Amino acid sequence: MIRRVTPWPVEPPLQLWNCPLRASGLPPLPNEGRDGLTDEIRSYRDGIEVYHVNYRAQRNSGGVEVFDSTQRGFYDENGDFHWTSVRLQDTPSWVRSRAGFQGGEHTGTRRGIAMRTMDYSGQISEVIWETY
């Protein structure tokens, strides 16, 4: 999964529509929703949290210049993957801490993927931070 989201271009962590278990000719799964997934598989997919961090701040004569194109990846109710812009300072604390971001006028570059998942029992995984 981590190879799919690093390096650029960042792709969806899972491509459930491309899974070999859904090969043509197989009968539909029981309790399948409109996105073609069962509730169990959907909860796993929706338990994936992925952030693409691309942040740079540098001090100049006018103060601190910030470039922040951080994005949050998510699946919508139809199962389509989307990216939405978010400021690094507005991401969850687990993203900021793995990126080494303290906020304020902290200068430097932070670039990488932060990701965590939830398993079938609701346990949250270790945070994966992959720089590139």
- Give the model confidence (pLDDT) of 22-81 as tens digits: 444 455 556 677 677 788 888 888 888 999 999 998 988 888 888 999 999 988 888 788
Range of the domain at 48: 2-18+36-131
pLDDT of 27 reads 56
- Separation between Cα atoms, residue 4 and residue 25, nearest integer Å: 28
Q: Is the pLDDT of residue 21 over 60?
A: no
Indicate whether 23 belongs to any domain.
no
Indicate whether 29 belongs to any domain.
no
Q: Number of folded domains in the chain?
A: 1
- Separation between Cα atoms, residue 55 and residue 34, nearest integer Å: 37
120 against 14, higher pLDDT? 120
2 CB contacts (<8 Å, ≥6 apart)?
A: 113, 115, 128, 130
Indicate whether 68 belongs to any domain.
yes
Indicate whether 115 belongs to any domain.
yes
Indicate whether 25 belongs to any domain.
no
Q: How high does pLDDT run on average in the chain?
A: 80
Q: Is the pLDDT of residue 126 over 70?
A: yes
Indicate whether 26 belongs to any domain.
no
The average pLDDT across 105-119 equals 86
Segment 66-98, tens digit of pLDDT: 899 999 998 888 878 899 999 999 999 999 999
* CA contacts within 13 A on the Cβ side of 72: 17
